[in-house]
Amino acid sequence: MRLLQGNAESFNGYVSEVADTMKFRFLGLGFLWAWIYATWFTPTLFPASTGLTVRNDLSWSISAGVVALTLFIMPLLLRDRELSTVPFIPKIAGPLTSIGAALTASSTLFGIDSTALSLAGGAITGVASGWLWMLWGEFTGKVDQELTELFVPLCIAVPAITLFSTIFITGPVAGIAICLLPTVSNILLLLSLNDEEVVHPVELLPVDERPRYMGNFVRIGLGSMALFTCIGFTWGMLEYNQVVAYGGTHLLPYVLGAVAAIVISVLMISYSSHLDLFSLYRGLVPVALFGLLFLAVQSPWGKSIALALITCAQYMFDVIIWIYFSRVVRCGVCSGGVAIGINRGFIQVGVMLGTILAMYTPTPPLPALRGFRLKRGNHHHRSAHAQQDRRPRKDHGPRAKPASEGRRRYRLRPHVHRTGRRARPHAA
């Protein structure tokens, strides 16, 4: 009884904390997520989209490669300063991403089928969205840890609601709205950075006094790359036209996975006595492995469960990473943009590697399912010699024995009566 009362008090305290502290502007990170998944997980901008895979439109590959380079290069150039202090970048990152998104989808939005525009849009979105990732990382490093643990899990609800709304809002209006999502994220970011009540900048330590952090960031990045290689492989192996979901799309498994990630993340943050990266990572790996396991089930429901599990694992990992690095940067070793930028770069590489592996992985039918069909069809086993011999055979009636069985040989004898005398031949 005391346990139930304690859980109820914790839940009520969490709700009251959300109501008192949470502001809508803090959900801007979710609009950046929503732009990515609404662009490539729905047919609004790209009717033949295959998700976040290299088999998608060429602009996706260009954007994914450029954003990885941006997230690796910019942290090296900005070790001693923050990206938000660079003139114009905090104000143009979102609008540039929206412009690039519109260029990549120019065929759907404006009826202009141009490869040059598509490639240019992919490059622009790669650079500008990388800036936006780093700017949101800097914001999480300037606010209290409790506030970060509060709003980051709730940001997952934004892409889930956005994808659900694409069922009812379609056409060019929905496409333009999706392209404007990075701009909305940028506006909310500027409002959040200017909120003096919650923003408490942390001064960076002198270069000589900073502990060596790059080695730890690279090791964590390699772990992130391994996990997202698994996630990207699952995305690449899924055939979205066979996934069972509402409206004939793969929306339902995605929404279920996102909701599960929110619930599990809030429970872990609320009830974990010691919140660290590796203890949370151990509970995340089985979810991703079970997602891979359900890929082997050659049925729409198996793929739906795989997508839901992988979506849950992906968002749970994002929550863990953002919370972990927001704690690290509070020590003054580097800015939040540097920490988040390096890790997101490894994530982008992992997604590309996973989808490339999926592209060259054959998917033969399972032998167990084939045998099951033979049994239900009441087919008899045939030897290899009989399968090769496809010549038509003479029909001997329903009681004729199979050709594989040996035939008894009889010697022809004249008919003998019971008396033992031979029958005389009839007269002609």
Nearest to 233 by CA among 191, 280, 181, 296: 296
Query: 42: which DSSP letter?
Result: S
Per-residue pLDDT of the chain (428 residues; tens, 9 = 90+): 444 444 555 555 555 656 556 788 899 999 999 999 888 877 788 777 666 666 667 888 898 899 999 999 998 888 778 898 888 899 999 999 999 999 998 888 888 888 899 899 999 999 999 999 999 999 988 888 888 888 899 999 999 898 888 777 777 888 899 999 999 999 999 999 888 888 887 777 777 777 777 888 898 899 889 989 988 888 887 755 434 344 444 677 888 889 999 988 888 777 765 566 666 667 778 888 888 888 777 677 777 888 889 889 989 888 888 888 888 888 778 888 888 999 999 999 999 898 888 888 776 554 443 333 333 334 444 444 444 444 455 555 555 444 444 444 444 444 444 444 554 554 44
Nearest to 37 by CA among 311, 378, 259, 229: 311
Q: Is 419 exposed, middle or buried (0-12, 13-18, 19+ CB in 10 A)?
A: exposed
**Rounded to whole angstroms, how far apart are CA atoms 70 and 349?**
12
- List, in sequence order, every residue forming a beta bridge with 416; answer none if it has no partner: 422
Q: Is 182 helix (H, G, I), strand (E, B) or coil?
A: helix
> CB–CB of 18/150 below 8 Å?
yes
pLDDT of residue 60: 83
Measured CA to CA in angstroms, residue 15 lies from 20, 150, 173, 179 at distances of: 9, 10, 35, 33
Angle at 160 between CA 156 and CA 166, to 5 degrees: 150
Measured CA to CA in angstroms, residue 150 lies from 13, 116, 156, 284, 373 at distances of: 12, 43, 12, 20, 52
**Count of CB atoms situated within 10 Å of the CB of 368:** 8
Measured CA to CA in angstroms, residue 415 lies from 262, 332, 421, 428 at distances of: 91, 113, 9, 18
Helices 58-77/115-140 angle, 10° precision: 40
pLDDT of residue 417: 47
**DSSP string of 278-316?**
HHHHHHHHHHHHHHHHGGGS-SHHHHHHHHHHHHHHHHH
**Rounded to whole angstroms, how far apart are CA atoms 139 and 134?**
9
- Give the alpha-carbon dihedral of 85, 86, 87, 92, to 10 degrees: -100
pLDDT of residue 374: 32
Q: Where are the alpha helices (DSSP H) in 180-299?
A: 181-193, 214-237, 251-271, 277-293
Helices 251-271/145-154 angle, 10° precision: 160
pLDDT of residue 13: 58
**Rounded to whole angstroms, how far apart are CA atoms 401 and 408?**
11
Q: What is the token pair recorded at 8?
A: 């109820």
**DSSP string of 341-384?**
HHHHHHHHHHHHHHHHHHHT---PPPHHHHHHHHHHTTPPP--H
**Rounded to whole angstroms, how far apart are CA atoms 317 and 224?**
8
pLDDT of residue 376: 37
pTM above 0.85, yes or no: no
pLDDT digits (tens, 9 = 90+) for 244-290: 344 444 677 888 889 999 988 888 777 765 566 666 667 778 888 88
